[in-house]
Structure 1
Amino acid sequence: MSNEIFLPIDLNENTAIEFSQKLRKFNLTSNKSVMIDITNFSKNNGRIEPFASLLVINSLRHFFAHCLKNDINYSIRYIKEHRIVNTYAKTLRFYSSLGLGIGETPDTDYVGSSMKNFIPIMRYPVKTIKQSLDEYNEIKKIAERIAIVASRGKEKLFKYIKFCLIELLRNIVEHSESKYFWYCAQYWSSINCVEIAIMDEGIGIHESLKKELDEDDINNALRFSLIPGCSSKPTTHYIDDAENSGFGLYMISEIGKENGDFIIASNKDLIKKCKTNEVENFTFLRGTIIRLRLNIEDLREYELELEELRKKGLQLTENYKIYREKKKYAPGTELPKLF
């Protein structure tokens, strides 16, 4: 097997997943070194999307950690900065997120506005939230800051993005055990679509739900994580004040499904949901990455959407509680139609 792995010119959902799968399949026992080649990517002005960029960054960081553990030399082949054609990747902080000295780092602060089309890759320390006087209020401020840029001044879109980000950030702080979270966003006016991607490099959903789910259900951990009422115990002290406590990922996944699409990837598994279908896949990463895409013209009324989802969520919560109770006394109970 060749010890070279090439980054595709275009980084979209499909190519990024395929690249992550290549890293997973790479034989670490029969190679003493590996080269990640990004020269073709840098020499061409290919497309690069938020979710795809974070998936590649996470997969490579995870892969390099495995290389170190197995005493395998690894390197990245790239071209000098003045020869780079894909300058958007530099502006997006993609190169620097791979540890290359090209462009601003993801730790650099970014002051955006509703006039911007994107938010570059950002890395934010979780301890900043945990050390604040009011964790929930700190999360809301971060969510609002991102939503202002990503919504481009559209009030309904702002409400949706803020709501979803608050719950995503809460999940990271409460359950991931990650030191940082990463995020970026893109608004495409040509197709009236916005994409927000957020990731952590924590323990992952399977590990987080290990005490909640039994051996029969843990392989479906990603699916169970989208059911209201299925959650590991929170580690934060503000849980009772949160507006959408307990319904988080369920509501976000449904909002994405009804108004665009939703992707959740954690460790080795991935699920994508949209109106027309649902797809499962596999990846190679540490922690969890979530993508929310919203088609702006198709957005339903915010308050109506949330009210309907809450009503549906309450029924699903009851169904899930009944299922868990039955399993205590009858292991192997068939899973009801929760998904």
Structure 2
Amino acid sequence: MKTIFFPSHFGRDTLNSFFKQLEENLNAPEILVDCTTLNYSYPSGMLVAGSKMRKWIKHRRENGLITKKKGYDSDKKVHGYLRHLGFFDFIGMGEGNVVGEASGSMTYLPITKIEKPIIDLQVQDVKEWYDEIISQTRRFATLLSGTNEYTEENKLYHYALREIVRNVFEHSLADECYLCGQRWADGRVEVAVIDEGVGISASLKRSFEIESEIDALRKAIKPGVSSTTKIAEADNIYDNSGFGLYVLEQLVSSFGWFMLGSGSAKIVSQGKAMREQELNFDGTYIGLRLNSAPRQFSGILDDIISQGEHEAEVSGIKTTASGMSKFS
């Protein structure tokens, strides 16, 4: 019987070898998944690995293949943490809390499912759709900022989560997404959001010629680039302007790191450096790490959008950021 070991920790850059093992043994008759090797888990690595594993486990079950597990019930803090956050339920192992059972605290946001709001544009205004997303993400921002007060830090996390979630539902064709997060004692915060939709490359092909999946990611973080950039205005029902991911990459990479992945491609932006990597994932994931939060988020947001609108104009894209992208 083949054994697949968890990596030493679930992190931003630790999943490639683990994913290759999963892919190579997708149809092996009998597999033992050994969790004992895991020692630590970060939100981005955990959620991305979880989505990969849940599809892998589902495929094996549907095809009558045997998958056994070991070590998930150890006394290690990491396994207790994963059981509490809903990880083993999320991937289909059925251990610990179910997704959504843990309520979270001022130090962590457990794995949480957000469902796409239903809107009938015949009788409702799109603002009602946005209001529903705002309502859902505001609570999560409070957890991550560590305060109930609407501080600049609270505004930042609310803006980030709101823009990521609405980006998912406007472009991915997915009806749900998952997020989780962690706040450490020193103020560092990491957030991850995944969807299992069509992916960025397929989405952007509505408006652009896409050479590869890495090319799609490069385009996705440019100002004014969206799946709706070149479609009829009447079809752009959410008034999307293509500034959400651009703003987040510019902002977050200045205070920590920004990760975006879809299909076989992944980028990590930190400071002025950007790395391009490979990692096979069906859907899209975004990871954010902020080592510190800007004290004047609203002012920085205005500056980034102003610069982005100029860059878009220079590149021949005649658009300005939507009211929602400017709203902090």
Q: Give the TM-score category using the shorter length.
A: 0.7 to 0.9
Q: Which residue of 2 aligns with 1:326?
A: none
Residue from 23, 31, 40 that aligns with 1:34: 31
Q: Which residue of 2 aligns with 1:96?
A: 89
Q: Which residue of 2 aligns with 1:265?
A: 261
Q: CA deviation at 1:300?
A: 4.7
TM-score (norm 1): 0.80
Residue from 158, 173, 181 that aligns with 2:154: 158
Residue from 304, 308, 312 that aligns with 2:303: 308
Rounded to whole Å, the distance in 2 between the matches of 1:322 and 1:156 is 31
Q: Residue by residue, what CA displacement relative to the aligned partner does 1:204-247 show, whole Å, maximum 9, x if unpaired? A: 1011112222254665001101112211139997634x8xx431
Q: CA deviation at 1:101?
A: 2.5
Q: Which residue of 2 aligns with 1:73?
A: 65
Which amino acid in 1 is paired with 2:130?
A: Y
- The percentage of counterpart residues that share the same residue type is 27
Which amino acid in 1 is paired with 2:198?
A: I
Contact 1:174 1:236 in 2 (8 A): no
Residue from 223, 226, 238 that aligns with 1:228: 223
Rounded to whole Å, the distance in 1 between the matches of 2:294 and 2:72 is 43
Rounded to whole Å, the distance in 2 between the matches of 1:12 and 1:54 is 10
Rounded to whole Å, the distance in 1 between the matches of 2:115 and 2:245 is 22
Q: For 1:100, what is the secondary structure of its paired residue?
A: coil
Residue correspondence of structure 1 range 180-219 to structure 2 within 5 A: 180-190=176-186, 192-216=187-211, 219=214
Residue from 262, 276, 300 that aligns with 1:280: 276
Change (3 A) 1:258 1:300: farther
- Correspondence 1:130 to 2:110: no
Alignment size in residue pairs: 305
Which segments of 5 or more consecutive residues in structure 1 lack a partner in the other structure? Answer: 324-339
Q: CA deviation at 1:307?
A: 1.3
Contact 2:213 2:265 in 1 (8 A): no
Q: For 1:286, what is the secondary structure of its paired residue?
A: strand
Q: Residue by residue, what CA displacement relative to the aligned partner does 1:156-184 show, whole Å, maximum 9, x if unpaired? A: 11111111111111111111111321000
Change (3 A) 1:23 1:213: farther
Q: CA deviation at 1:276?
A: 4.4
Residue from 21, 44, 51 that aligns with 1:51: 44
Q: CA deviation at 1:118?
A: 0.2
Change (3 A) 1:320 1:76: farther
Which amino acid in 1 is paired with 2:255?
A: N
Q: Residue by residue, what CA displacement relative to the aligned partner does 1:129-169 show, whole Å, maximum 9, x if unpaired? A: 12486110001111211100000027111111111111111
TM-score (norm 2): 0.83
Q: What is the Cα-based RMSD across aligned positions, in Å?
A: 2.8
Contact 1:3 1:35 in 2 (8 A): yes
Q: For 2:275, what is the secondary structure of its paired residue?
A: strand
Contact 1:181 1:198 in 2 (8 A): yes
Rounded to whole Å, the distance in 1 between the matches of 2:279 and 2:212 is 20
- Correspondence 1:289 to 2:285: yes
Which segments of 5 or more consecutive residues in structure 2 lack a partner in the other structure? Answer: 319-328
Contact 2:213 2:263 in 1 (8 A): no
Rounded to whole Å, the distance in 1 between the matches of 2:182 and 2:198 is 27
Rounded to whole Å, the distance in 2 between the matches of 1:168 and 1:51 is 14
